[in-house]
Chains A and B, each alone.
Chain A
């Protein structure tokens, strides 16, 4: 099974809402990633988790809060977002140090 799943596929939220994005993989990968991708732009690395510990935070605003409750799950908690945060949020996973990073299908987020 080489699949990374993400839920929900689409999310519309207001600026005062709190919501969460979920990512799951069952490939035994111990590195998991969150990326943000705006239209016609490349994916931008947000967070890297290594063995369930946050190893990289690319200066992401605190309104984005990642969580890795176990080796298969990765969450991204959203609070007080701005309309400019509307984007495709991609989760990926890999073995630590591996060359192959697998992406999930993404969550299309719209902030109104």
Chain B
């Protein structure tokens, strides 16, 4: 069964702090992992993807993957109020099947 779990939050952090978002997945056949940001009433927007164990950095964002623990995380450094959104973890399987976690609501407090 392809389950993707996230802490639904809400997660609140002060402006300038590090926000840490976590995701676990159940199927070891998972190929690659994605973080999307979704503002209220808008469609998901891809932030990062990762497919190898370890860290991947892009600007203020760092994705971390641990396949042995079936765990993927997203760190947002120097959080800004504009980062306030729902963050969706997604997992890709063969056949281009994407499954999404329930999302974590993040609020950055000015």
Contact = CB atoms under 8 A, between A and B. Distances in A.
Given A33-B98, A102-B46, 17 more contacts: A31-B96, A42-B100, A43-B88, A45-B98, A45-B99, A55-B95, A56-B95, A56-B96, A94-B96, A99-B32, A99-B92, A100-B49, A101-B34, A101-B46, A103-B43, A103-B45, A106-B43
A90 interface: yes
Interface string B91-104: 01001111111110
A97 B96 contact: yes
B101 A90 contact: no
Contacts of A56: 95-97
Chain B interface size range: 20 to 34
Interface of A: 31, 33, 41-45, 48, 50, 55-56, 88, 90, 94, 96-97, 99-106
Contacts of A105: 42-43
A63 to B, nearest CB: 22
Interface string B37-65: 00000111110010100000000000000
